């Protein structure tokens, strides 16, 4: 039975347990929502079909991503990320901030995209996302190509930047991000053969006050209220093009993140993470 919990309770339960394999915490980062499962002491099997069933908003718990916390031999803990379609992916900035808020203390987290450092609390969770990659093999793309102002396009979206920030992103700068029918064009770009591991699609415009206004079609999840890695990739692309200066505020439908980056440095993301409720279930109900 689900019940709201306070920040202090969540910290104590997450850090000191005992962990329970059938317990979960529902969280969101700017509306990008997650089911977080602490499996450090009791293993939880997560085949693709089960992750997809848990994420279903009609017959499951409902989330953009399922986050499975496991022990790590390389860091303080390991974070596995499953999109709503059940596929496991490399990185999720908003989810990493949520785990940072649960920890409430500095830590290193192992992900498929590499090891990231976190600190801060619910109001100002901070994640060091590591250095971005721009080489075409590292995105990855299906063929050699300059990843800045790429000579490709889909309808009115042309000349994008490609950036890997632990997962692959393509960024289009447009006059009005809200005017783009991203729900229609996003799936086409995500699954284009140019992207052998699919891609996250970002459309961004630069506001008069210097903020980046961003909307994201997430690979395997669709339109979301916010995407932390999308904000990082878009800020990096905008700074490379000298459209904005670091640090920059990125405004997403669910709220704002602050991204700091300079060439040769790591990306630092700061923003809120919100606890919603905790609950218990029998994972076998989901297949």
- Per-residue pLDDT of 244-265, as tens digits, reads 999 999 999 999 999 999 999 9
Catalytic residues: 92, 227
Report the pLDDT averaged over residues 120-148.
95
pLDDT, mean over the chain? 92
- Percent above pLDDT 90 for the chain: 89
Which pLDDT does position 123 carry in this prediction?
87
Is the pLDDT score of 19 beyond 60? no
Is the pLDDT score of 9 beyond 80? no
> Cα–Cα distance between 117 and 39 in angstroms, integer?
20
Taking alpha carbons only, the member of 244, 237, 259, 239 closest to residue 160 is 237
Structure tokens at 140: 């990855």
Which pLDDT does position 6 carry in this prediction?
43
Is the pLDDT score of 141 beyond 60? yes
Structure tokens at 259: 């991204």
Count of positions (residues) in the chain: 287
For residue 196, count other CB atoms closer than 10 A to its CB: 12
Residue 13 main-chain phi, psi, to 5 deg: -70, -40
- Bond from prior residue into 18 cis (ω within 30 degrees of 0): yes
- Percent above pLDDT 70 for the chain: 93
Is the pLDDT score of 48 beyond 60? yes
Confidence of residue 97 (pLDDT cuts 50, 70, 90): very high
> Cα–Cα distance between 182 and 252 in angstroms, integer?
14
Measured torsion, CA atoms of residues 199, 269, 54, 68, in degrees rounded to the nearest 10: 110
> Cα–Cα distance between 216 and 201 in angstroms, integer?
6
Q: Where are the domains of the chain?
A: 7-124+273-282, 153-265
The CATH fold of domain 153-265 = Diaminopimelate Epimerase; Chain A, domain 1 (3.10.310)
Is the pLDDT score of 3 beyond 50? no
Q: Do domains 7-124+273-282 and 153-265 have the same CATH topology?
A: yes
The CATH fold of domain 7-124+273-282 = Diaminopimelate Epimerase; Chain A, domain 1 (3.10.310)
Which pLDDT does position 4 carry in this prediction?
35
């Amino acid at each position: 039975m689900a019940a709201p919990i306070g920040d202090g309770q969540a910290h104590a339960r997450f850090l000191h347990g005992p962990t329970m394999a059938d317990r979960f915490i529902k969280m969101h980062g700017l509306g990008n929502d997650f089911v977080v499962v602490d499996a450090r002491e009791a293993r939880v099997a997560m085949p693709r079909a089960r992750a997809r069933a848990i994420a279903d908003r009609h017959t499951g718990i409902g989330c953009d991503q399922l986050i499975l916390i496991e022990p790590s031999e390389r860091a303080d803990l390991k974070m596995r990320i499953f999109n709503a379609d059940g596929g496991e992916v490399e990185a999720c900035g908003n989810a990493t901030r949520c785990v940072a808020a649960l920890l409430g203390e500095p830590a290193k987290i192992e992900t498929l995209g590499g090891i990231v450092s976190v600190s801060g609390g619910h109001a100002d969770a901070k994640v060091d996302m590591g250095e971005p990659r721009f080489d075409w093999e590292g995105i990855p793309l299906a063929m050699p190509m300059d990843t800045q102002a790429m000579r490709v396009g889909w309808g009115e979206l042309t000349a994008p930047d490609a950036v890997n920030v632990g997962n692959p992103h393509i960024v289009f700068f447009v006059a009005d991000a809200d005017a783009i029918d991203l729900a229609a064009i996003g799936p086409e770009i995500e699954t284009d053969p140019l992207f052998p591991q699919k891609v996250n699609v970002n459309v961004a415009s630069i506001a008069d006050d210097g903020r980046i206004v961003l909307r994201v079609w997430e690979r395997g999840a669709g339109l979301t209220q916010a995407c932390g890695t999308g904000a990082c990739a878009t800020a990096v692309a905008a700074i490379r093009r000298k459209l904005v200066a670091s640090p920059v505020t990125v405004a997403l439908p669910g709220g704002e993140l602050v991204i700091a980056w300079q060439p040769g440095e790591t990306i630092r993301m700061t923003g809120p993470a919100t606890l919603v409720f905790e609950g218990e279930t029998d994972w076998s109900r989901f297949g």
